[in-house]
Amino acid sequence: MSYTLLAVIGAVAAVVLDWAVLRTRLVRRRVFWTTYAIVVFFQFVTNGLLTGLPIVSYNPERIVGPRLVYAPVEDLLFGFAMITMTLSLWVWAGRRAATAKLRASR
Amino acid sequence: MRALLTHSTYLLILAACVIGTLPLEVLLHTGVYRRWPRLLAALVPVVVVFGCWDLLAIHQHTWFYARRYLIGVFLPGRLPLEELLFFLVIPTCAVLTFEAVRVRRPEWPVGDEQ
C-alpha cells in the first residue's frame, strides 16, 4: 500500500477514534485547532530539518509527489493523525480520571 | 568529534524539542510531566500504532534513514532508536502545547473538566 493511501486512512482513523470511539470530539473544539495550528508550524521546522538534510528520504514510487518544506504532503496527514490520536487519548484519560474521582467522592 | 556530532543530529533535534517546550511546563504550569501516568496512558497506544506504521514503511522501502545522522542503535525491524524517541517526544510536545493553550484560554472547554 502506498504512503499516500495509508496517510489518508490514518488521518480518517484518528478522527473516527476521536469522534466515535473515545467520543472526546476534539475536532469540533477551538482549543484543538489552535493547538494544531501551533504544532503544525513547528512540524514544518523539525520535519523540514529531518527531510531537508535529509535524515529521512522517501521512495518516489510510494508518494504522490508534491512537497511542503522538503517533506512529502503525506507527512502532513501522518502528523495530523499522530497529534489527533495523542490529544484524544490525553483528554479521554483525563475524563476517565475525573469521573472516577467524582464517583469516589459520592 | 565532528563525526560524533553528525551522528547525533537526529537526537539533537529531538532534544531541542524537549528543551524548547520545557518553559511551558515550568513557566505556564501546564502540569503535563507532573501528571505522568495520564501522559503515559496517552503515549503508549501512539508509540505502538505509529511504531508499527514506521516498521511497515521501513519494510516496504517507503522511507530510508541516513546512517550518518543516527547514533547507530537499532531496534528489531531496523527501527532507529531515534524513531522510537520521536513517537514519545513529539506527542509530548503536542500535549504540552494543548495544555498551554488551555492555560491561556481557560474559557475554552475541552471535555475533561470536573
Q: Which residue in A78, A88, A74, A80 sits closest to A17, CA to CA?
A: A88
Nearest-neighbour CA in chain B from A59: distance (Å):
5
Domain that holds residue A69: 3-105
The nearest alpha carbon in chain B to A74 belongs to B62
Interhelix angle A74-105/A3-16, rounded to 10 degrees, is 20
Alpha-carbon torsion, ordered A49, B63, B92, A47, to 10 deg: 20
Instruction: Give B52's contacts in chain A (Cβ within 8 Å).
Output: none
Closest chain B residue to A60, measured at CA = B62
In this prediction, what percent of chain A has a pLDDT beyond 90?
91
Q: Are B63 and A56 an interchain contact pair (Cβ–Cβ within 8 Å)?
A: yes
pLDDT mean over B71-76:
97
Spatial distance between the Cα atoms of A68 and A60, rounded to a whole number of angstroms? 15
Radius of gyration of chain A from Cα atoms?
17
Mean pLDDT of A16-24: 98
d(CA A74, CA A64): 8
Report the alpha-carbon distance of residue A67 to residue A53 in Å, rounded. 15
pLDDT digits (tens, 9 = 90+) for B5-56: 999 999 999 999 999 999 999 999 999 999 999 999 999 999 999 999 999 9
Q: At what angle do helices B36-59 and B81-104 cross, to 10 degrees?
A: 140
Which among A83, A84, A63 is positioned nearest to A74, based on CA atoms? A63
Instruction: Name the residue in chain A with its Cα closest to that of B66.
Output: A55
Number of domains in chain A: 1
Of B50, B87, B110, which has the smallest distance from its Cβ to A31's Cβ?
A: B110
What pLDDT was estimated at residue A56?
A: 98
What is the secondary structure of A34-52 as a DSSP string?
A: HHHHHHHHHHHHHHHHHHH
**Residue B2 — pLDDT band, cuts 50, 70, 90?**
confident
pLDDT at B98: 98
pLDDT band of residue A39 (cuts 50, 70, 90) is: very high
The per-residue pLDDT for B1 is: 82
The shortest C-alpha distance from A66 to chain B (Å) reads 16
Model pLDDT, residue A51: 98
Question: Are the Cβ atoms of A54 and B70 closer than 8 angstroms?
Answer: no
Q: What is the pLDDT of residue B9?
A: 98
A6 and chain B in contact, CB less than 8 A: yes
CB contact under 8 A, B65 and A56: yes
